[in-house]
Structure 1
Amino acid sequence: MNNLKPGVSDYYWCCVEIRAAPDVGEQVYLSVTEGVSTLNTVTVQRGGSVTILCPYDNIYQQHVKYWCKGNDWRSCTPIVRTDSPHKGKVSVRDDPDQQVFTVTMNSLITGDSGYYWCGVEISRDSAVGTRAYLSVTEGVSTLNRVSVHSGGSVTIPCFYDNVYQQHVKYWCRGSDWSSCTPIVHTNSPKKSGEVSIRDDPDRQIFTVTMNNLKTWNSGYYWCGVEISRGSAVGTRVNLSVTEGVSTLNTVTVERGGFVIIPCFYDNIYRQRVKYWCKGSDWSSCTPIVRTNSPKKNGEVSIRDDPGQRLFTVIMNNLTSGDSGSYWCGVEISRGSAVGTQVSLSVTEGVSTLNTVTVQRGGSLTIPCFYDNIYRQHKKYWCKGSDWSSCTPIVRTNYPKKSGEVSIRNDPVKRVFNVTMNNLTTGDSGYYWCGVDISRGSAVGRRVSLSVTGGVSTVNTVTVQRGGSVTIPCFYDNRYKSHVKYWCRGSDWSSCTTIVRTNSPKKNGEVSIRNDPVKPVFNVTMNNLTAGDSGSYWCGVEISRGSAVGTPVSLSVTEGVSTVNRVTVQRGGSVTIPCSYDNMYQQHVKYWCRGSDWSSCTPIIRTNSPKKSGEVSIRNYPVKRVFNVTMNNLTAGDSGYYWCGVEISRGSAVGTPVSLSVTEGKMSVLQTVANEMHSM
């Protein structure tokens, strides 16, 4: 019987049917009180520890208690019992006086996630219990090891999950999580001697500061978060207080990433040369950069801050070959030096962007980088907040395409790209770049996809052959400093770039111009032909090959048309007919001047002003034409003009007219008279 409530308390019978005879049975009275209780759900960081409290009724004080794993109470597998309290990284401890037994689990991994049970044996194989769900994710995390010089100070950052924002945090000392001694709490005391604690719920971090450190302060400490009723989660830090120069002991970085190493030194070394060297032996390590020269060597640079008694080393674009032992060193005199060792581990696996925001209806390409050892392995893209249970959508073997999602692998570049088209808000969520290894094991990296603003533009534009068009591409404020581009192709993942806001900004009849203030970038295409019809994309580069974009369908037909050139006598008048497509009947029309379509200056419009000096405009929606009349022409009126039609959000189509005001009789190279007569 599962999920018992007090309302089911009553008499029950164990019965056996017997043929041709009365049934037999035994009566049982079930009383549902408090029995055994615990938390419903606990979230813990991978590598951390957790203590689960299991309170029980007074009647069970002398009974055996146990901790078992499994979805179903009837078949869960016992791990530890109070009569056999230790097994591997799991232990159990009973406190009959308090009527509670506690279970401690250390060094947790994602495979430890699942359902567990607090159980109490009664008699004759009967038992009572209650279920808890353990989720091993990012509960509480911090540095693994920290080295600080004697007399110095250190601030330890302890990161925690959003669910723990309102919980009490603490800092305790001891090699064993279940028995460490609290020093400071975020409620009280917040300060104890040279140790203080400060919580920042908005950033989901609490920091512990320890000042005037002595060598006897070395040891194991814990970042802890209280959950409820005595239960807590935490992760361990090894603090080493030494002399001279100090830094982190171990740093793990992902391939392709970067790291900043802080090297602290004593006040007596402020004016000394500092350096960064590589080698397992301090006496023979090879210097890479120095605060005198060179301060930069390839992807490695060094910077000294005597005021803070700190020099920092930055290493970019890390590869697995960069793994090894390094040293923060300070020269003293006559060849002597002091230093401390750092172990750098550039791990293998899969990397990608952490967060991507895309506009609804747009497209996205996610680059998933992987190590050389995974070139021949199968890659996949799956959705789900938890890596261990995410649902595969596409794979590099099969299926390579599923609806609007496709995958493409490039073993040479060691990257596979996932393209998602026609995104909706329902596509928002967590996804994973995954690589199958063997026998069900895999490595992966999570991406948070938010379908909101991204990049947007008009969906379809129709332009007359020989005309021009300006396409506005709107983007989110966060992309102001990113490179924008215009590319052509029916498929977002393989469209061919034509122009870019960095280079080239102009390519033949196509140009691009960015306006970060608005924020929008405009693409102008002149002298369009039928061959220019097709699918184009407004694109914004994010980083490391990733980009967001949205499509535009361009149709070169009869958008707006007029005569190409007109010659008029000085002092005369001319009426220019501007024909347009039926779809533009209700749109605003205008007449502008300038040699370049993207920057021509409007003179008159069909909404306002309809008349400006000697120039007037009149629209005939039924005939799908608007006429521009110019009177008392002078030589200064010669130049390029445009028949323009506004579409939406700054987009427009148009076609040019070359006006030449000369002496003598008026002539029209492309006959205007017949068109005028037909009106």
Structure 2
Amino acid sequence: MKIIWTFTLLMIPGVVNSIEVTGYSGGGVKISCKYDERFTENQKYFCKWQRSDCPYQIKTNEKNKWVDSGRFSLYDDTRSAVLTVTFRDLREWDSGMYYCGAEKFITDSSTEVNLKVITDQPIRTVRGYSGGNVIINFKYETQEETSLINICKSGECFPVINTNRASEWKHDRRFSVHEGRSAGLLRVFIRELNENDSGEYKIIVKASEDHSLFSEFSLNIEKDDCVKSISLSAAAGGSVNISCKYPQSHSSDVKFLCWRSGKDGAAVLETSVNESRRWRREGKIQLYDDREERLLTGSISHVTEQHSEYWCGVQSDGGHKSFITRVLINLTENDVKFWV
């Protein structure tokens, strides 16, 4: 018994740091582990602690280059003595204690990583349509007061924006980002879609100094027979009827009509309907979804000059939204003069 106990102690890594990491099922995490500069030439590893053993998930002698093994990638930056591990396609059972560091005689110079994987509906595929927009929802937790958000397409990454605890949308080119920290939800809005936007994407959020979390998904920009823009006329203060076609593939999805201010992704005065052939009214908007005809109809009352741009769209599982048809309402000249 004494020999076994001594052996077990020797198997426990010499922990020099400990970090808490939260990830979401279907997504991934990137973890940075500092090690002693004396061990830059040693093998580097990432292992999962199981009772008295720590089986390697990935291990390498390679320096200053990425090494891949299954769901894991490892990069040993010998110049800064930092080991970076990427863990992809997380599952709930991946939760547990891990160690990463430099292997040396008897005990190791390592970082203890307590990984918690939260079950969530992962982003897999998001559909959008040329000329339209999409909103993509991403669950996350962060310890930072401000977060650096990166969006990558087909391996090319660029920073979108630094966000803070303020609730307003932040904009950069065709992208807008909104952080709902109380709900742990990041919303990414991409507008003016075109076929070149199709591809593999990754959303990366810097959650702390030690780790980032990310979600990978495919964005498919599809062709459809829907009208992209509708122009209607109405009297100020009056009502106008709308009619929007949508693709057959969205027949069972939630449909919505919303007013959107400027380039913000936030929907204002939104009304949605999730049943076929049943009227739904909310505020100044009422809607009716005929799934057999693939037609969303409705009306907007109390039309004003300020609220003149609306969008018809669909909401898929996970709350992702595709804005399909733009509806522009023009107040007739005579009616405008009358009300003025």
Which range, TM-score by smaller chain? 0.7 to 0.9
Q: Is the 8 A contact 2:176 2:265 kept in 1?
A: no
> What's the CA shift for 1:535?
2.8
Pick the aligned partner of 1:426 from 93, 108, 112.
Answer: 93
CA distance in 1, matches of 2:220, 2:58: 33
> What's the CA shift for 1:499?
3.1
Indicate whether 1:435 and 2:328 are aligned.
Answer: no
Pick the aligned partner of 2:41 from 373, 376, 379.
Answer: 376
- Residue 60 of structure 2 aligns to which amino acid in structure 1? T
Q: Is the 8 A contact 1:409 1:417 kept in 2?
A: yes
Q: What is the match of residue 327 of structure 2? A: 657
CA distance in 2, matches of 1:612, 1:378: 62
> What's the CA shift for 1:523?
1.4
> What's the CA shift for 1:407?
0.8
CA distance in 1, matches of 2:294, 2:40: 60
Indicate whether 1:412 and 2:79 are aligned.
Answer: yes
- Residue 581 of structure 1 aligns to which amino acid in structure 2? P
Q: Is the 8 A contact 1:461 1:554 kept in 2?
A: yes
> What's the CA shift for 1:549?
2.4
Q: Is the 8 A contact 1:635 1:662 kept in 2?
A: no
Q: What is the match of residue 400 of structure 1? A: 67
Q: Is the 8 A contact 2:314 2:323 kept in 1?
A: yes
- Residue 622 of structure 1 aligns to which amino acid in structure 2? E
> What's the CA shift for 1:481?
4.9
- Residue 505 of structure 1 aligns to which amino acid in structure 2? K
Q: What is the match of residue 509 of structure 1? A: 174
CA distance in 2, matches of 1:604, 1:468: 17
Q: Is the 8 A contact 1:539 1:550 kept in 2?
A: yes
For the pair shown, the structure with the greater C-alpha radius of gyration is: 1
Indicate whether 1:547 and 2:212 are aligned.
Answer: yes
> What's the CA shift for 1:451?
4.0
Q: Superposed, which structure 2 residues align to 1:238-387 within 5 Å?
A: 351=16, 353-385=18-50
CA distance in 2, matches of 1:421, 1:613: 44
- Residue 161 of structure 2 aligns to which amino acid in structure 1? V
Indicate whether 1:487 and 2:151 are aligned.
Answer: yes
Q: Is the 8 A contact 1:592 1:602 kept in 2?
A: yes
- Residue 132 of structure 2 aligns to which amino acid in structure 1? G
RMSD of the alignment, in Å? 3.8
Q: Is the 8 A contact 2:204 2:213 kept in 1?
A: yes
Moved over 6 A (4+): none
CA distance in 2, matches of 1:563, 1:427: 44
> What's the CA shift for 1:552?
2.9
Q: What is the match of residue 452 of structure 1? A: 117
Q: What is the match of residue 337 of structure 2? A: none
CA distance in 2, matches of 1:404, 1:657: 45
Indicate whether 1:601 and 2:269 are aligned.
Answer: yes
> CA-to-partner distance for each residue in 1:646-674, whole Å, 9 max, x for gaps?
2234432214322212248xxxxxxxxxx
- Residue 87 of structure 2 aligns to which amino acid in structure 1? M
Q: What is the match of residue 133 of structure 2? A: 468
Q: Is the 8 A contact 2:253 2:274 kept in 1?
A: no
> CA-to-partner distance for each residue in 1:374-412, whole Å, 9 max, x for gaps?
33333222333478x533332333793221111112223
> CA-to-partner distance for each residue in 1:96-145, whole Å, 9 max, x for gaps?
xxxxxxxxxxxxxxxx813xxxxxxxxxxxxxxxxxxx74689xxxxxxx
Q: What is the match of residue 10 of structure 1? A: none
Taking structure 1 as reference, are residues 396 and 561 closer, same or farther at Cα in structure 2, changes over 3 Å only?
Answer: farther
Pick the aligned partner of 2:314 from 639, 645, 653.
Answer: 645
Q: What is the match of residue 298 of structure 2? A: 628
- Residue 519 of structure 1 aligns to which amino acid in structure 2? G
Indicate whether 1:498 and 2:163 are aligned.
Answer: no
CA distance in 1, matches of 2:27, 2:285: 42
Taking structure 1 as reference, are residues 422 and 360 closer, same or farther at Cα in structure 2, changes over 3 Å only?
Answer: same
Three-state SS of the structure 2 residue aligned to 1:113 is helix
Q: What is the match of residue 557 of structure 1? A: 222
CA distance in 1, matches of 2:256, 2:36: 58
Taking structure 1 as reference, are residues 586 and 454 closer, same or farther at Cα in structure 2, changes over 3 Å only?
Answer: closer
> CA-to-partner distance for each residue in 1:596-615, whole Å, 9 max, x for gaps?
44232225646575356986
CA distance in 2, matches of 1:647, 1:423: 22
Taking structure 1 as reference, are residues 612 and 137 closer, same or farther at Cα in structure 2, changes over 3 Å only?
Answer: closer
Q: Superposed, which structure 2 residues align to 1:136-155 within 5 Å?
A: none
CA distance in 1, matches of 2:304, 2:315: 29
CA distance in 1, matches of 2:99, 2:283: 64
Pick the aligned partner of 2:244 from 564, 575, 578.
Answer: 578
Q: What is the match of residue 6 of structure 2? A: 113
> What's the CA shift for 1:420?
1.1
Q: Percent of aligned positions with the same letter in both sequences?
A: 24
Q: What is the match of residue 338 of structure 2? A: none
> What's the CA shift for 1:500?
3.6
CA distance in 2, matches of 1:605, 1:380: 52
- Residue 253 of structure 2 aligns to which amino acid in structure 1? H
Q: Is the 8 A contact 2:144 2:208 kept in 1?
A: no
Q: Is the 8 A contact 1:456 1:474 kept in 2?
A: no
CA distance in 1, matches of 2:23, 2:121: 9
Taking structure 1 as reference, are residues 622 and 609 closer, same or farther at Cα in structure 2, changes over 3 Å only?
Answer: closer
> CA-to-partner distance for each residue in 1:337-376, whole Å, 9 max, x for gaps?
xxxxxxxxxxxx9855433232222211111212333333
CA distance in 1, matches of 2:180, 2:223: 30
Taking structure 1 as reference, are residues 489 and 414 closer, same or farther at Cα in structure 2, changes over 3 Å only?
Answer: farther
Q: Superposed, which structure 2 residues align to 1:183-194 within 5 Å?
A: none
CA distance in 1, matches of 2:284, 2:33: 62
How many residue pairs get aligned? The number is 321
CA distance in 2, matches of 1:522, 1:560: 28
Three-state SS of the structure 2 residue aligned to 1:418 is strand
Q: Which runs of 5+ in 2 are unaligned?
A: 335-340
Q: Is the 8 A contact 2:28 2:213 kept in 1?
A: yes
> CA-to-partner distance for each residue in 1:279-315, whole Å, 9 max, x for gaps?
xxxxxxxxxxxxxxxxxxxxxxxxxxxxxxxxxxxxx
Q: Which runs of 5+ in 1 are unaligned?
A: 1-39, 42-68, 72-111, 115-133, 139-348, 665-679
Taking structure 1 as reference, are residues 425 and 453 closer, same or farther at Cα in structure 2, changes over 3 Å only?
Answer: closer
Taking structure 1 as reference, are residues 113 and 350 closer, same or farther at Cα in structure 2, changes over 3 Å only?
Answer: closer
CA distance in 1, matches of 2:161, 2:122: 17
CA distance in 2, matches of 1:569, 1:402: 62
